[in-house]
Amino acid sequence: MNRISTQPASVAPGHIQFLDSIQPPLPAGEYTLTATQVVKDLPGETSDPVYDASQQLLVDGPRFALNPAQIHMVYPPANQSGDFSNSLPSIVFSNFSLPWSREIDPSGAADAPIDGDTPINQVPWMGLLTIYSGDLEGTGSKAGTPFSVSVSELVNPADDTVLPPDLGKIYGPMDNKVAVVDLDISYFQAISPSLEELPFLAHSRVVNTDGKVMLGMEDDGCFSVIIGNRLPNAGDQNTIYLVSYEGHQAHLHGSTIETRYQKIRLALLGSWQFSTLANRGSFLNLMEDLCKPGRGGVKLLQMPDAEVAGELSPLAKEALEIGYVPLQNDMRVGERATSWYRGPFVAAPTREDAAYGPYHFSDHAMHYDPEYGMFNHAYSAAWQIGRLLALSDAAFSAGFFSWRNDYLKSLLQEAKRSVTQKQAQALGAEAVDGKRKRYSIVAGLQHVLASDFSNVDWPKVPGRANEDLPGLLSDKEQQAIHLSGDDPILFIKKKIQQQKSEQ
Amino acid sequence: MIKSWRNYEALHQEVASSLLQASESTSTTLPLTDELATWLAQLSLLYGVPVEYMVADARLLPTESMRFFYVDRNWTNRLIDGAISVGVLSSMEKVFNEAFFERIYAQVNEKQVQLRAILRSTNNGGQVVDGTLTGLLFRSQVVSGWPGLEVNASAKGTALDLLRMDRLSDNTLLCLFNGIPDTVDFIEPGEGLHFGINREADADTFNIYLRGLGFPKDGAYPAGEQIKDPDTPGGYLQASSSLRGGTEKGVVAITDLVSSLESKFPSGALENGTLTPGGFAVQMVQGAGFQQYVFGENYPICEAE
């Protein structure tokens, strides 16, 4: 007997369990419940009396229409466009036994007793048909257009070239309205699955999405799924019909139909549309095809040496192997030369070497091979890009500039403070003898005063370094004064005093 | 003379020694401000660097190709040299750069591994592993067609931090990893559980990768996992089949496909040797195409010249 678990407790969180089908306890249809009671060993009776009772039962289920609340999701999503050209359409029902709730052949299991030996019905009674936009073109198109008829017209169409489903007994009023679609029989047989294929196009799943959103399926529990058998048309608007195959078991793909019929009438349970982008091939194929001839392949970032005409020197070969490419560049003098260049991506590991840096100019970072007369512009180009990118970002360049200057200023301030501190220490230090102490006091005081007074805005003596003093100083002396930064007046005074004393 | 009162020599010595001290210091308080370090880290991950300078010749990266590489730290350090050369007006700034470049590099390297986490506003900033950055360039229609493509790199089973994953153009993807991977996985984004096939554009034949169904019970073929091809290292078993012929295109011949799948399954991998609707659905599930490159196993894969 079939067991039904409607709780996903047996499935680990984040897992999906696939089942062939979930059988309904009783498929839809008409049943007779019979009960027999035998009263045994009654005194005075030669045969045991038998009492029979029977009860007519009707198990109803969706037949010509579906409650939209039972549709959990459809794929490809309705009215969306995307890359669906390699995806089979599917529909998920929250009614977990819906696809098996009817026999595809309404008369098939009519008289079979319901017990533990009932064969499992794995043939779903519904399916998805993928209709391309071209199939819907024109009046009387091969895919037809959905319209509404009464139930009696579904089973007995007015047009006798239309093949109706063989539904057997109809429960319910015959004048109920049903959505139907008439398809060309040849077209229907070309796109519909065969009876043997149908079981593979339906399954059930048990989902436990505990703790995480799993593949867009937020809900836990049991679901039934119907898959279509036709791929959507690339770059096209596609329509999916959810149709009932009930009573059409002998009309599907591969079966022969009387030639007088031209159309087949299907009860339409639902439909949706979506657009498919131009075909691209599927992910895995594209990934595998990287290695096909004419494509790029998968390897290290290297210049293919097959591209180079002629014989390669060992040096050139090595350079290409480690990722260098020869490029033309204009020299400063206007000459055009070939130089090596290599980007940040290299085919061989490199070691970070601080001995390279820092370079203060891009020319610094140019390498030259005197033996072959070739420049290597890899690092100089990098330097230039770094500078240009920094310059192009005003916030960064200004920020870095002021950060560096602030840092330098604070460093200078700190150094001054430290120098002054040392002088102050020297000032107060215990001296070994009186002479040195006096010297320390004088020198220290001078420095302290100099540091403190240097911040005072003293009246400045105008510079006389470049004043022309003919006769007083020789050119050599002038130069010496200029270089030493001494006051020329004082120098002259000294010179005069010296001359006086000599006299 | 006021000017000569000041002891410049002592001051210069003091500045020089404190610069030296600061530059050689190994203290964790690094000099750069956070914004500057982030900017330089972005630069060192080649944000803003023109593609022509990364791939100097188109033949290095033809269409439909994948290229793995190491990142040359010396090159990215030159970028930083260039950037910090801005505003060098005198020997003062020059001396500063000379003194601090190594600490700036170190700070940028530290920031580099946290950058993606910062950009994604998560706290899982990485650690500097061994300082080697690697990466890959992938130029293919896969990049333009699957915007949610996932790339995972790992070394000895440990996932490597992705430092940067960006599209350089519509069909070119750049990934930078922190460390040297031995395995790189490409995972097709899961857009909901759905069913489908793998085929070339508009082809009439297609293939399906075989997935285990949990049989036999010893777990040789775990449920839902692609079955490895014992004959091709790094390859996976697949069954090929074709569409139903005839006037109407695109119809999958289900019975042919089922028998093709059944014939490809290793013995014992199917219950009773037959494929049931549930098992068939597992084979048809599409949504997480998975391409793995394993160093030494299926890498380098091909030259495809």
Q: Which helix (H) or strand (E) holds A186?
A: helix A185-191
Shortest Cα–Cα distance, B29 to chain A (Å): 14
Question: Which two tokens mark B186?
Answer: 């490409």
The number of beta carbons lying within 10 Å of the beta carbon of residue A313 is: 10
With cut-offs at 50, 70 and 90, classify the pLDDT of residue A9. Answer: very low
Mean pLDDT is highest, among A160-164, A287-291, A460-464, for A160-164
A265 sits in the region (left: phi over 0; alpha: psi -120 to 50; else beta) called: beta
Q: Which of A304, A414, A288, A334 is nearest to B19 (CA)?
A: A414
Q: What is the pLDDT of residue B1?
A: 35
- Mean of pLDDT values over A432-448: 56
Q: Is residue A436 part of a domain?
A: no
> What values do phi and psi take at B162, rounded to 5?
-90, 115
A386 inside 8 A of chain B by CB:
yes
**Residue B57 distance to chain A (closest CA, Å):** 7
Phi and psi at residue A50, in whole multiples of 5°?
A: -115, 130
Name the residue among A205, A281, A419 with its Cβ closest to that of B7: A419
Distance of alpha carbon B19 from alpha carbon B248, whole angstroms: 81
Domain membership flag for residue A250: yes
Q: Torsion angle of alpha carbons A479, A480, A485, A488, nearest 10°?
A: -80
pLDDT at A243 over 90: yes
Please report the pLDDT score of residue A126 as a whole number. 93
Q: Is the pLDDT of residue B72 over 60?
A: yes
More confident residue, B276 or B6: B276
Shortest CA distance from A284: residue in chain B: B289
Do residues A447 and B5 make contact, with C-beta atoms less than 8 angstroms apart? yes
Co-location of A227 and A352 in the same domain: no
Q: Among the ranges A254-268, A464-478, B265-279, which has the highest mean pLDDT value?
A: A254-268
Residue with structure tokens 């001290």?
B21
Q: Tell which residue, A118, A115, A120, has the closest CA to residue A34.
A: A115
**Residue A366: per-residue pLDDT:** 85
Q: Is the peptide bond before A76 cis (omega within 30 degrees of 0)?
A: yes
> What is the phi/psi pair of residue A60, to 5°?
-95, 160
Domain boundary among A212, A242, A276: A276
B205 touching A (Cβ < 8 Å): no
**Alpha-carbon distance B38 to A257, whole Å?**
74
First and final C-alpha spacing in chain B: 80
Q: Which residues of A63-80 are buried (b: 16+ CB within 10 A; e: fewer)?
A: bbebeeeebbbbbbbeee
Residue B34 reports pLDDT greater than 50: yes
Is A409 among the domain residues?
no
Q: Is residue A220 part of a domain?
A: yes
Q: SS3 for B230?
A: coil
Which tokens sit at A451?
Answer: 């540091």
Higher pLDDT, B300 or A261: A261
Amino acid at B47: Y
DSSP letters, A42-63, are: -TT-SS--EEEEEEEEEE---S
Q: Indicate the pLDDT class of residue A1, thresholds 50, 70 and 90.
A: very low
Beta bridge partners of A129: A241
Of the two residues A60 and A306, the one the predictor is more confident about is: A60
Percent of chain B with pLDDT over 70: 83
**Beta bridge partner(s), residue A75:** A90
Does the CB of A171 have a partner CB in chain B at under 8 Å?
A: no
Q: Are B202 and A285 in contact (CB under 8 A)?
A: no
Beta bridge partners of A329: A337
In a shared domain, residues A83 and A197: yes
pLDDT at A81 over 60: yes
| Position B283 pLDDT exceeds 80 | yes
- Residue A144 token pair: 């037809």
What would the mean pLDDT of A424-428 be, rounded to a whole number? 65
Q: Do B86 and A390 touch (CB under 8 A)?
A: yes
| Between A116 and A2, the higher pLDDT residue | A116
Which of B22, B55, B88 minimises the CB distance to A343? B55
Q: Name the residue among B41, B228, B36, B217 with its Cα closest to residue B125.
A: B41
Does residue A308 share a domain with residue A270?
Answer: no
Q: What are phi and psi of B158, to 5 degrees?
A: -100, 130
pLDDT band at residue A439 under the 50/70/90 scheme: low
Residue at A160 is within a domain: yes
Domain boundary pick from A331, A366, A392? A392
**CB nearest to B300's CB, from A298, A306, A393:** A298
Higher pLDDT, A468 or A378: A378
From B149's Cα to the closest Cα of chain A, the distance in A is 10
Contact B69 A358 (CB under 8 A): no
| Nearest alpha-carbon partner for A81 in A228, A271, A238, A286 | A238
Is A289 in contact with B97 (Cβ distance < 8 A)?
no
Q: What are the residues whose beta carbons fall under 8 Å from the beta carbon of B226, sequence distance 6 or more?
A: B209, B210, B211, B212, B236, B237, B290
> Do A124 and A198 meet the contact criterion of CB atoms below 8 Å apart?
yes
Interface list for B 142-171 with A (CB within 8 A): 142, 145-146
Higher pLDDT, A52 or B2: A52
CB A218 within 8 A of CB B236: no
Number of domains in chain A: 3
**B positions 80-139 inside 8 Å of A (CB):** 80-88, 92-94, 96-98, 101-102, 105, 131-132, 135, 137, 139
Nearest to B252 by CA among B204, B211, B289: B204
Let me know whether A306 and A229 are in one domain.
no
Of A374, A392, A410, the domain-final residue: A392
Across the range A3-15, mean pLDDT stands at 53
Range of the domain at A325: 299-392
User: Mean pLDDT throughout A175-179?
Assistant: 89
Q: Which residues lie closer than 8 Å to A312 by C-beta, 6 or more apart?
A: A305, A320
The answer to whether residue A454 sits within a structural domain is: no
Task: Measure A420 CA to nearest chain B CA, in Å.
Answer: 9
Query: Each residue of B10-20: pLDDT tens digit?
Result: 777 777 777 77
Query: For residues A234 and A254, what is the distance between their CA atoms, to the nearest angstrom?
Result: 27
Least confident of A35-49, A445-459, B280-294: A445-459
Under 8 Å CB-to-CB from B180, ≥6 apart: which residues? A349, B70, B132, B134, B155
Q: Indicate the domain borders of chain B.
A: 11-56+73-119, 194-294
Is residue A71 domain-shared with residue A136, that is, in the same domain?
yes
Mean pLDDT of chain A: 79
* In a shared domain, residues A170 and A115: yes
- If asked whether residues A144 and A230 sit together in one domain, one would say yes
Is the pLDDT assigned to residue A296 strictly greater than 60? yes
Q: Is the pLDDT of residue A7 over 50?
A: no
- How many residues are there in chain B? 305
Between A307 and B106, the higher pLDDT residue: B106
A160 vs A165, A260, B71, CA distance in Å? 13, 8, 76
Domain shared by A125 and A27, yes or no: yes
Q: Does A12 touch chain B (CB under 8 A)?
A: no
pLDDT tens for each residue of A300-352: 888 776 656 667 788 888 888 888 888 888 888 888 888 889 889 988 888 87
- A194 and chain B in contact, CB less than 8 A: yes
A282 pLDDT tier (thresholds 50, 70, 90)? low
pLDDT value of residue A356: 67
C-alpha distances (whole Å) from A323 to each of A301, A303, A340, A342 are: 7, 7, 10, 6
| Residue B2 touches partner A, C-beta closer than 8 Å | yes
User: In the predicted model, what is the mean pLDDT of residues B230-234?
Assistant: 77
pLDDT confidence of residue B305: 43
How far CA B66 is from CA of A291, A294, B53, B205, in Å, comes to: 10, 14, 18, 26
Residue A63 domain-assigned (yes or no): yes
Between CA A240 and CA A254 the distance in angstroms is: 22
Which of A41-55, A398-412, A482-496 shows the lowest per-residue confidence on average (mean pLDDT)? Answer: A482-496
Cβ pair A354:B131 closer than 8 A: no
Question: Best mutation site among A120, A229, A345, A408 for testing chain B: the one with the most B CBs within 10 Å?
Answer: A345
Q: Which residues contact A263 (CB under 8 A, 6 or more apart)?
A: A144, A159, A161, A162, A163, A182, A183, A184, A185
Same domain? For A182 and A257 the reply is yes
Q: Is B305 on the interface with A (CB under 8 A)?
A: yes
Q: What tokens were used for A395?
A: 């916030």
Contact A390 B82 (CB under 8 A): yes
Are the Cβ atoms of B7 and A407 closer than 8 angstroms?
no
Report DSSP state, residue A12. P
In a domain, A399, yes or no: no
Average pLDDT, chain B: 80
Nearest residue to A20 via CA among A127, A99, A73: A99
Tokens of A400: 């870095």
- A359 to B78: CB separation less than 8 angstroms, yes or no: yes
Using alpha carbons, select from A309, A28, A119, A89 the residue that is nearest to residue B252. A89
Distance of CA B49 to the CA centre of its chain: 18
Q: Output the six-digit token pair for A425.
A: 């220490």
Q: Are residues A317 and A387 in the same domain?
A: yes
With an 8 Å Cβ cutoff, are B192 and A300 in contact?
no
Residues of B with CB below 8 A from A123's CB? none
Q: Contacts of residue A343 in chain B, CB cutoff 8 Å?
A: 53-56, 75
What the block records as the tokens of A396 is 């960064």
Contact B77 A384 (CB under 8 A): no
Given an 8 Å threshold on Cβ–Cβ distance, is B70 in contact with A347?
Answer: yes
* Inter-chain touch B251–A191, beta carbons under 8 Å: yes
Q: For the residues A350-359, what does the mean pLDDT come to?
A: 76
pLDDT score, position A443 = 62
- Tell me the per-residue pLDDT of B190-219, one tens digit each, with 9 for 90 and over: 555 778 888 877 788 888 888 888 878 777
**Do A244 and A316 share a domain, yes or no?**
no
Q: Please compute, for residue A423, the number of CA atoms within 13 A of its CA located in the half-sphere on the CB side.
A: 24
- Secondary structure (H, E, C), A422-490: HHHHHHHCCCCCHHHHHHHHHHHHHHHHHHHHCCCCCCCCCCCCCCCCCCCCCHHHHHHHHHHCCCHHH
Note whether A193 and A342 are same-domain residues: no
Q: Which whole number is the average pLDDT over A488-502?
A: 79
The band of B296, judged by pLDDT with boundaries at 50, 70 and 90, is low
The full length of chain A comes to 503
- Percent pLDDT > 90 in chain A is 16
Give the mean pLDDT of A411-430: 73
